[in-house]
Amino acid sequence: ALKYVQEYRDGELARQLIAAIGDIEGKKMRLMEVCGTHTMSIFRHGIPSVLPDSITLLTGPGCPVCVTAQRDIDIFVALSMVPEVILTSFGDLMRVPGTLSSLQQEKARGRDIRVVYSAFDAVKLAAENPHRQVVFCAVGFETTTPTVAASIMVAQQQGLTNFSIHCAHKLTPPALAALMETPGVEIDGFLLPGHVSVITGTGAYLPVFDQYKIPAVIAGFEPVDILKAVLMLVRQNVSGVPALENAYPRAVCDKGNPKALAVMDQVFKKADTVWRGIGMIPASGLVLREGFNRFNALEKFDIQAGDAPEPAGCACGDILMGLKKPDQCKLYKKRCTPMNPVGPCMVSSEGACAAFYRYG
């Protein structure tokens, strides 16, 4: 397996790809990745610095924590304050500032908030604590959602009445369409996510591609994978022939993972949802289907949460749309640092500001 990975970290192959990109570039190009793992890999391996100046890599709405609306963060915080609740969350969410507080602050105040690695951990906790209500903060894209759906099926099979979620799941393809429709947003190609595409398959992007005819390439996560996808995007731009291509065929196929898609579809249905910075995107989120309403935390608990403004001065929204780079935010490295984050893009290791701070 190591040999397999090393093939995609091969320095000589990477140099050849960089040279090939250099040979054919010329035209200015703005290429956007929409995947938190790509963000980390691109920064960690210094990929922007080996590309010609004419190519700008933008970080799009691919970090699950970063795209979570302020209102949803406030709901998670409010749920943690319900006395009978054990709130369970991925670690990344803990430090994201809500309007008045964060989960980390609430934990310090004695609320029962526990970091879990999977929604199944939360179901297990519910089974072990029949007299408490266990709530899971459900964020993430198509990569995470099937597991959450499966955990709800398990809770149902076990007859658990003390497990629920607040669902802030998002779907990737509608976000691409929303970006293409946003005035001022200039994108010459999408580096499409690897993990998400393993679940959705290449086919999920076809409607967006057919509508906008934007160069789009699914990429893996090793430096060679990313450079190869960048080369394909550059070639498409130079030739003027956009295509939807898969540069990660060792993991992604056209149809995706039918079992994962089926369990997602069984539990969730599409709904309009608000993305941080971008606003409402039609049919870009998921809600529980009627048959699963008893797992909806908002149905169980009386939580009041209106629309909440994003933190003053935080440019996360513009960054997620490729309109700004982290160092163009006035708070970057001043009031906002990984130790004292103002916005989620500085909290999550997959966030553009955190990656820029660490490697930029």
Q: Does 345 bind ligand SF4 (CB under 6 A)?
A: yes
Q: Which of 25, 256, 326, 355 binds ligand SF4 (CB under 6 A)?
A: 326
Q: Does 336 bind ligand SF4 (CB under 6 A)?
A: yes
Nearer to ligand SF4, 82 or 342 (CB): 342
Work out the burial of residue 24: count CB atoms within 10 Å of its CB; fewer than 13 is exposed, 13-18 middle, 19 or more buried: middle
Query: Of 124-132, 175-183, 265-273, 327-335, which part binds ligand SF4 (CB under 6 A)?
Result: 327-335
Q: Does 316 bind ligand SF4 (CB under 6 A)?
A: yes
Q: Does 346 bind ligand SF4 (CB under 6 A)?
A: yes
Query: Of 33-41, 92-100, 233-241, 324-332, which part binds ligand SF4 (CB under 6 A)?
Result: 324-332
Query: Of 8-16, 188-196, 261-269, 340-348, which part binds ligand SF4 (CB under 6 A)?
Result: 340-348
Size of the site for ligand SF4 (CB under 6 A): 15
Nearer to ligand SF4, 152 or 315 (CB): 315
Q: Does 315 bind ligand SF4 (CB under 6 A)?
A: yes
In the complex, least distance from residue 331 CB atom to ligand SF4, rounded to whole angstroms: 4
Q: Which of 319, 320, 321, 355 binds ligand SF4 (CB under 6 A)?
A: 319
Nearer to ligand SF4, 219 or 329 (CB): 329
Nearer to ligand SF4, 209 or 356 (CB): 356
Query: Of 37-45, 50-58, 253-261, 314-322, which part binds ligand SF4 (CB under 6 A)?
Result: 314-322
Q: Does 231 bind ligand SF4 (CB under 6 A)?
A: no
In the complex, least distance from residue 97 CB atom to ligand SF4, rounded to whole angstroms: 9
- Interface residues with ligand SF4 (CB under 6 A) are 314-316, 319, 326, 329, 331-332, 336, 341-343, 345-346, 353
